[in-house]
Structure 1
Amino acid sequence: MITGADTDVALIVALGGPHARRLLADHPATDQRYWLRVWAARGLLWAWDDNGLDGVRMALRDPQWRVREMAAKVVARQLLGDLLPAVAKLRGDPVLRVHAAATRAVAMLTSAGA
């Protein structure tokens, strides 16, 4: 789901809540489907699996800033040291929220020695 692949509707609703129901009911245009990637990344904040590493790596380069921000938060929470170079690049992101999440992730990773 974090890579943009279709997934089970129940999972989408579990991750996105009431907003997911509305999004799915309206058959979203592709410009709104990024919310699925945001919700997938948010799910990885709480239920991590190492199989998600490549998806988070992709999400750090996503064209939508909300996806990049959430991916940086996942890197920080899960201490994904392998993604330090990728998240460090986001400290130069023009979106302040992405910049802040990336800066926090770099600080968490370096203080943890990851």
Structure 2
Amino acid sequence: MTRLPPPLDLSASVPDLVRELARHLGATTFVGLCVDLLGGADRSEHLDALPYLTGHDWAPGSPVTDPMSWDDYWVRTWGARGLLHVWADTASSAVVAGLVDEHWRPTEMCLKVTARHEVAGAAEAAAALAAHDLPRVRVQALRALGAVGDTEHVEVVRDALTDPAPAVRRAAARAVESLVVRLDLSPQASIELMSP
């Protein structure tokens, strides 16, 4: 990769930094970089790009360069977060694979990417994640199902209407509304779906 200049303003928002990086690299190369990071690429090979993806200074000796301070799951999460802001369908399989990451942070970010970009092939993993231990992951799983779920996922969403976590119940209600519209469900099916 060509050596990158530092960000114009490291204090800018991450979405702005990500778009700046995509302008430097071009969209195709940018997406390839994010896919590599999501797949577990070595952070040391991408030190020029990581300030744009993180909003952190990656100067030698910075804690963010140290895997003991910032575990490798962060690198995978940052790769997924880049795809949240600059997308190409070529990243779909990497995002679907990220939905079964061993750590919840990359998984949660891949769910966000799925919901925003309607990632094909992600519905089954999202349905499984609707039962995750962490409510915040369940919320994102339901958002993803609202975007990409099909008729076989309706019951999963319906079951979440009685989740103990209020945020999950709210996400389930919004997912129901999305599924009703997306799947063109009948008025009677809509009523039944909203009844926990």
How large is the Cα RMSD of the aligned pairs?
Answer: 2.0
* Contact residue 64 and residue 70 of structure 2 kept, 8 A: no
Structure 1 residue aligned with 2:109, among 58, 63, 70? Answer: 70
Matched, 1:60 2:99: yes
Q: Which amino acid aligns with 1:28?
A: P
Q: TM-score under structure 1 normalisation? A: 0.85
Q: Which amino acid aligns with 1:22?
A: P
Q: Which amino acid aligns with 1:5?
A: A
Q: Hey, what does 2:46 align to over in structure 1? A: 8
Separation in 1, partners of 2:120, 2:145: 9
Higher helix share: 1
- Structure 1 runs (4+) deviating above 6 angstroms are none
Q: Could you say which structure has the larger radius of gyration?
A: 2
Q: TM-score under structure 2 normalisation? A: 0.52
Q: Which amino acid aligns with 1:93?
A: H
Separation in 2, partners of 1:31, 1:61: 20
Q: Which amino acid aligns with 1:12?
A: L
| Bigger mean CA deviation after superposition, 28-37 or 79-88 | 28-37
Shift of residue 81, structure 1, vs aligned partner:
3.1
Separation in 1, partners of 2:69, 2:103: 12
Shift of residue 30, structure 1, vs aligned partner:
8.9
Question: Residue 19 and residue 104 in structure 1: after superposition, are their counterparts in 2 closer, same or farther (change >3 A)?
Answer: farther
Q: Which amino acid aligns with 1:4?
A: G
Shift of residue 22, structure 1, vs aligned partner:
3.3
Q: Hey, what does 1:102 align to over in structure 2? A: 141
Percent identity for Structure 1 against Structure 2: 33
Q: Which amino acid aligns with 1:48?
A: W
What secondary structure sits across from 2:51 in the alignment?
A: helix
Separation in 2, partners of 1:31, 1:68: 17
Structure 2: state its 5+ residue gaps: 1-36, 150-177, 184-196
Cα displacement string for residues 5-53 of structure 1 (whole angstroms, at most 9, x for unaligned residues): 12421221210111765311xx213971111111111110111122211
Q: Hey, what does 2:72 align to over in structure 1? A: 33
Separation in 2, partners of 1:31, 1:107: 32
- How many residue pairs get aligned? The number is 111
Structure 1 residue aligned with 2:121, among 82, 92, 95? Answer: 82
